[in-house]
Structure 1
Amino acid sequence: MNTALAAPAHAADALDLGPAWHAGFADLGPAFHTDTPPTALPETQLVALNAPLARELGFDPARLTGPEAVAALSGSRPIAGTRPVATVYSGHQFGVWAGQLGDGRAILLGELRTPQGPIEVQLKGAGLTRYSRMGDGRAVLRSSIREYLCSEAMHGLGIPTTRALSLTGSPQPVIRETVETAAVVARVAPSFVRFGHFEHFSANGLTPELRRLADFVIDRHYPDCRSAAGNAYANLLEAVSARTAALLAQWQAVGFCHGVMNTDNMSILGLTIDYGPFQFMDAFNPAHVCNHSDHGGRYAYHRQPNIAYWNLFCLGQALLPLMDEQQQALDALEPYKALFPAALTRRMGAKLGLQATAEGDAELVEALMQLMARDAVDFTICFRRLCDAVAGDSAPVRDLFLQREAFDAWAERWRERLQSQPGFDAAATAAAMRRVNPRIVLRNHLGQIAIERAQQGDFTEVRRLQQALAAPFDDREGEDDLAAFPPDWAQQIEISCSS
């Protein structure tokens, strides 16, 4: 492609933000990326800053709030020591091979070395790259608020995810369905490598580059795959499958719908990545589709676990050139079929106060989910109220159901199961349940309220939500509205791939 790229700013303009930067992924060579300086935005301002994360990464949060740092976090001023690049990958989108894709609006600045290991930093929405295709390289304030808040909400829930360091905005117009304004999220992760990175090199017959990428990932993130018996790349596939199974169990257990589980949106580290048309369900519906653009319902809530396996199969196909035979890939994928249901049963059991998995627990969980689906019961509120029902007061949760006699019969079975546990203590069980059943999740209407206020220049609700979502299991004063039922108008919110 001949996409015009912005000229790099003079080195003298570079701002030193403190921590030392390292190339990391950029050291793999030109086959893996294109040098891509961000494109400046006018009149940038700080919408939100993740001060705890800034400290973890070695930044001084107070310094990041200054105008020079805000400009740097927006891509309007170079950061000393960084080498901005856009990476190339391919992938399957909605089950169809899409060919070459790549970072169309995300620019990788480099990596920081932390006590937890290397952490990559990207600017999402920082301008055109060689892989922008028909896009403009920008992100809008609406979708950037959603990504910033949800990545931190997932972290607060203990679910593996990319993180958000900062959110900056600019009045520069960006055209989507309507004219909106630009924003940039500085997001971080140990690695932004996706399944699609491997697919790209495999599909193009670039086996040496495929091997180099796989070795890079193994050496940095999966060293046990090389020391274990068997083919290291098959071991990598099995390890990624295990992490993905665990991730999907966590998604399902909180009613989270990703919305666009394309292979280029799947993390090689089993992280939740690329927050587009996501949703935490309100009324429970196993067939719920959160993405208005997903007309066929490919990424419905109940299909997510099988889609993850389908994506892993694509990753396995991509890695085949590095294996001795196809059976190694098939064997590496097989454990997913047992790991996911076992992980989900454990997590759902914990939500019901069960200390360990026993025969019949899966059926107990399924019976509750069927009741919830039949009566369109609010997912988050139902499980939170169950915490208070352990001691016998079922009225608040019972009132959520239309078929109350059916719920009563289920509740009797549930209490019998609880009381069969050695040393059962109702208060301790209720407390344990509150640690896994969140009071607050990032519902669509909460995000929409924050977005509408931010579009008027008021960022207080974004920051309030950020604080609340960092401690989603706590009962805190002043947050009752965030834990309440969604208003009727929330059903009219439509979320698509447009951002």
Structure 2
Amino acid sequence: MKLVARYTQIADDFAVADQPSAVIAPNLLLWNDTLAKQLDLEVATSERAVIFSGNLNNSDVAAVALGYSGHQFGHFSPRLGDGRAHLLGAVTDQQQQLWDIQLKGSGATPFSRGGDGRCAIGPAVREYIMSEAMHGLGISTTRCLAVVASGETVYRQPPQQGAIVTRVASSHIRVGSFQYLAAQGDVTGLKALVDLAIERHYPEIKSTDSVRYLAFLSAVIEKQVTLIVSWMRVGFIHGVMNTDNTLVSGETIDYGPCAMMNQFDFDTVFSSIDRQGRYTFGNQPNIANWNCARLAESLIPLISDDEEQAVELLSPLINGFAEQFHQAFTQMWAKKLGFDGHQDGDAELVSELLTLLKTHQLDYTNTFDSLTESLLGQVAIPSDLTDWSINWLARTNTQSYQLMREANPRMIPRNHIVESIIQEYESTGESSMLDEYLTALKSPYQLLASPAFWYSPPVDGDTNYQTFCGT
């Protein structure tokens, strides 16, 4: 595995050299062979556990822990950083694209804040399943290459088996990365980081000076709008949308307390640490806007020496987030309902539908699947939507089925199924259903010959379900 260094040129305290801590008995639990081939990785089967546990470093590139700040539930922490992760470097795929290779749960780093730097097997398996499911759904995401059991106990409540996740990302440049440098007053580092982010994600930006940084912010906003609309199309709830969990690439990162919505409700929240409902399903667009505003604040020193002038130039971009999101959100709903464009009255039709979904506690995924298949006469329209469907059907045409089938998944990673797989790994170190389940999640817009309960919500509707951060 040929690695190249990343981020070491940004600033002295941005990418800190640090080696993963060795584990007692590394054992490969999960290996993403498809992803490995896409990355053009050739790693001998016998070496996978020792390399991706952090026990073996066969590269000249030094592993690093990245520094970043973060607004966590609205409260600013100037120094967070990778407290339990090590970036091994980056690999180049066959298209000459760079991909970061990071170990998560690989031991304490200089950025650790009193923790052991380890990861339990449950969160590791969750990240593998959820990131692969999101990839199958066509949503931009980090990926998992491997999960390795450490052979050690991590002391949580209760004590659990340890594991290390190998995360693959186009970059690990977060909104919090810019906040980190801005908090230190490091304008040179800020410029270097913007240049790196543009080179990696937005090479179409050719402008210089302040225009360059405004174009960068605009591009990040566009990516965030696209990402959040995609999340809401399938009912995904991230659960911890802090600025340190917001990548400027527009990829989904950190699958700690994430979950999928079953019964439709904009106020749905599962994260045990989100006691105020800051990151509910329906509030995700507002938080994305807020996070982009924090990025804009960090860029102020690059825009102008006159802070007031810089704010004047940045504000229209942040203030335009809501309208940009509204347009994308409207287009998304048109596709979910099979409309080839937007007409007067469509917003009212969507609003009426969502009210009915919430009132009758209808399942988000299965309702839209039923509506889609009803156009072919395969299933009946849900009885609670019969009256509403009269006006909806009047808006459909011969293209509607294809539009809806592409927008509405038949299968999502149901919370209770994911939890049952995690429980299998926690108790036995393996799962009887995971391979088949992952195969099904690769084709979520098709109805496969899989167990029917994979497509069904839990009996209790996840009424008492909670997710946890996993740290």
Give the structure 2 partner of residue 390 of structure 1: 375
Give the structure 1 partner of residue 128 of structure 2: 148
Q: Percent identity?
A: 35
Give the structure 1 partner of residue 307 of structure 2: none
Q: What's the CA shift for 1:490?
A: 4.2
2:435 aligned partner, one-letter code: R
Give the structure 1 partner of residue 20 of structure 2: 38
Give the structure 2 partner of residue 75 of structure 1: 54
Q: What's the CA shift for 1:31?
A: 2.6
Give the structure 1 partner of residue 335 of structure 2: 350
How do residues 426-441 of structure 1 correspond to structure 2 at under 5 angstroms? Answer: 429-441=400-412
Provide the C-alpha distance between the structure 2 equivalents of 1:315 and 1:489, rounded to a whole number of angstroms: 37
Q: What's the CA shift for 1:350?
A: 0.9
Give the structure 2 partner of residue 482 of structure 1: 454
Provide the C-alpha distance between the structure 1 equivalents of 2:434 and 2:89, rounded to a whole number of angstroms: 27
Give the structure 2 partner of residue 187 of structure 1: 167
Structure 2 unmatched ranges of 5 or more: 305-309
Structure 1 unmatched ranges of 5 or more: 1-16, 419-423
Aligned residues of 2:182 and 2:190 also touching (Cα < 8 A): yes
CA displacement, residues 166-225 of structure 1 (integer Å, 9 cap, x when unaligned): 111123111122101111111111111100010011112111111211122122222233
1:27 paired to 2:9: yes
Aligned residues of 1:149 and 1:465 also touching (Cα < 8 A): no
Q: What's the CA shift for 1:489?
A: 8.0
Provide the C-alpha distance between the structure 2 equivalents of 1:464 and 1:183, rounded to a whole number of angstroms: 22
1:87 paired to 2:71: no
Q: What's the CA shift for 1:331?
A: 2.1
Aligned residues of 1:242 and 1:335 also touching (Cα < 8 A): no
How do residues 97-136 of structure 1 correspond to structure 2 at under 5 angstroms? Answer: 97-114=76-93, 115=95, 117-136=97-116
Give the structure 1 partner of residue 470 of structure 2: 498
Aligned residues of 2:119 and 2:470 also touching (Cα < 8 A): no
Aligned residues of 1:468 and 1:479 also touching (Cα < 8 A): no
1:274 paired to 2:254: yes
Q: What's the CA shift for 1:496?
A: 1.9
Give the structure 2 partner of residue 365 of structure 1: 350
Q: What's the CA shift for 1:136?
A: 1.1
Give the structure 2 partner of residue 410 of structure 1: 388
1:49 paired to 2:31: yes
Q: What's the CA shift for 1:28?
A: 2.9
Q: What's the CA shift for 1:475?
A: 1.4
CA displacement, residues 264-305 of structure 1 (integer Å, 9 cap, x when unaligned): 110111111111111110111111112111111111111110
Give the structure 2 partner of residue 326 of structure 1: 311
Provide the C-alpha distance between the structure 2 equivalents of 1:228 and 1:472, rounded to a whole number of angstroms: 43
Q: 2:147 aligns with which of 155, 160, 167?
A: 167
Aligned residues of 1:109 and 1:122 also touching (Cα < 8 A): yes
1:380 aligned partner, one-letter code: T
Q: 1:264 aligns with which of 244, 249, 252?
A: 244
Q: What's the CA shift for 1:357?
A: 2.4
TM-score (norm 1): 0.89
Provide the C-alpha distance between the structure 1 equivalents of 2:332 and 2:433, rounded to a whole number of angstroms: 31
CA displacement, residues 360-382 of structure 1 (integer Å, 9 cap, x when unaligned): 22222222111101111111111
Provide the C-alpha distance between the structure 2 equivalents of 1:338 and 1:490, rounded to a whole number of angstroms: 33
1:444 paired to 2:415: yes
Secondary structure of the corresponding residue to residue 443 of structure 2: coil
Aligned residues of 1:25 and 1:110 also touching (Cα < 8 A): no
TM-score (norm 2): 0.94
2:345 aligned partner, one-letter code: G
Q: What's the CA shift for 1:413?
A: 0.7
Question: Which range moved further: 357-366 or 206-215?
Answer: 357-366
Secondary structure of the corresponding residue to residue 21 of structure 1: coil
Q: What's the CA shift for 1:484?
A: 1.7
1:250 paired to 2:230: yes
1:453 paired to 2:424: yes
1:467 paired to 2:439: yes
Aligned residues of 1:259 and 1:290 also touching (Cα < 8 A): yes
Provide the C-alpha distance between the structure 2 equivalents of 1:226 and 1:489, rounded to a whole number of angstroms: 50
Secondary structure of the corresponding residue to residue 358 of structure 1: coil
Provide the C-alpha distance between the structure 1 equivalents of 2:221 and 2:462, rounded to a whole number of angstroms: 35
Question: Which range moved further: 43-52 or 372-381?
Answer: 43-52
Aligned residues of 1:235 and 1:332 also touching (Cα < 8 A): no
Provide the C-alpha distance between the structure 1 equivalents of 2:110 and 2:89, rounded to a whole number of angstroms: 18
Q: What's the CA shift for 1:321?
A: 0.5
